[in-house]
Structure 1
Amino acid sequence: MSAVGLFCSANDTLPEPFRAAASAFGAGLAARGLTLVYGGSSRGLMGEAARAARAAGGRVVGVMPRHLISRERAAADIDELHLVDSLAERKQRMADLSDLFVALPGGVGTLDEALEMISWFDVGIARKPTLFVDVEGFWRPFATMMAAFGAAGVLRPHLAGAWSILPDVPASLRAVEQALAPEAPIEGRLA
């Protein structure tokens, strides 16, 4: 079974469109028979995606640093919860368990996780793409920054396949299917 690593916020106070996108994404993965690998929290967008995936009959695997168990309220109703000692170990375990990555809205932790996977792609550690779901234009500033980096010449040409921005959840689910299909390019690249 293929697995999708999800990076997103554990903040409970995010707008409804963000929460709805997380639920739709989790349910969409389950409907496609894909495992959701995520940060293991029951809060925020993480919790929304995990609950929706489970409710739709999907498999959910969490990876959480021990020091965040209380703060992020570790999910108890998922298939597996891997406890690790650090954020670096969380990223490594998620990378080991996932075939590609998706980023929904999130803060610096989400950005750190997504950029590390892009960096790993760049240096050849793992050639797994990261797809950004542009809910309500959330990832437009990131696209602008990456375009500026490209224009300045600081991105290697092979990095073009490392990341994409998709306009919404349906487009991201189609891109996930395409990315997991043999030799299929990812649609919807904006940068």
Structure 2
Amino acid sequence: MPVAVISVFGSSRTVPESPAWRQAEAWGGAIARAGFALASGGYGGSMEAASRGARRAGGLVVGVTAPDLFKSRSGANSHVDLELPAPTLTGRIERMLEMSRAVLALPGGLGTLTEIMVAWNLAYIQRLQGQRPLPIGVDAAWEPLLRPHLQLSERELELLTLIADEDDLERFLAGLR
């Protein structure tokens, strides 16, 4: 029986053992304990921390890398079970969204924001077309950036689930079963 996948977006700049690293590792572990495989961009930072957490909890880890784009990176991190190279950055995001039952976004930078926006737009279009929208959980740190600065309706905002703590994460994951 295939395992459902949850993609995790996060910063490649997260340093080992920082609070952001520990959060990503905890999220990865929670995903695996909930019975899901984890997919990420497969490289370092939060991607590595989430992969490590999932692997330690016995989960399957998929890394969707972009070797043509990130030539200085030598391949997926050591916690990845399956590396799936994508030809472009947009192809990488697309591939992660296609394989996922849901996505989670940790704190991050421009790349993470791009991933959130692509996933959010996909969920919006899915709902417009009468389909079940892709569940998206985002760290609550994103809310001050998203809510006040964009012209968004409550209906658009409700496509995002804010994750402020481990309890929120557990509720999000439980809702996917």
Shift of residue 52 of structure 1? 1.4
Structure 1 unaligned regions, length at least 5: 182-191
Secondary structure of the residue aligned to 2:84 is: strand
Name the SS for the 2:121 alignment partner: helix
Going by fraction, where is helix more abundant, 1 or 2? Answer: 1
Q: Deviations over 1:54-107 (max 9, x none)?
A: 111101111011122533752244221100110110011001110111000110
Amino acid at match of 2:134: K
2:59 matched residue in structure 1: 58
Q: How far did residue 10 of structure 1 move? A: 1.0
- Structure 1 residue corresponding to 2:114, chosen from 112, 125, 129: 112
Q: Which runs of 4+ in 1 moved over 6 A?
A: none
In structure 2, list runs of 5 or more residues that go unmatched: none
Query: Letter of the aligned partner of 2:12 in structure 1?
Result: A
Matches within 5 A, 1:66-77: 66=67, 67-68=69-70, 70-71=72-73, 73-77=75-79
Letter in 2 for 1:8: G
Are 1:130 and 2:125 counterparts? no
Structure 1 length-normalised TM: 0.79
Structure 1 residues 160 and 172, CA gap change in structure 2 (3 angstroms): same
Aligned to 1:162: 159
Identity %: 29
Aligned length: 170
Residue 142 of structure 2, aligned match among 131, 139, 148 = 139
What is the Cα-based RMSD across aligned positions, in Å?
2.2
Alpha-carbon distance, 1:122 to partner: 1.5
Q: Is the 8 A contact 2:37 2:61 kept in 1?
A: yes
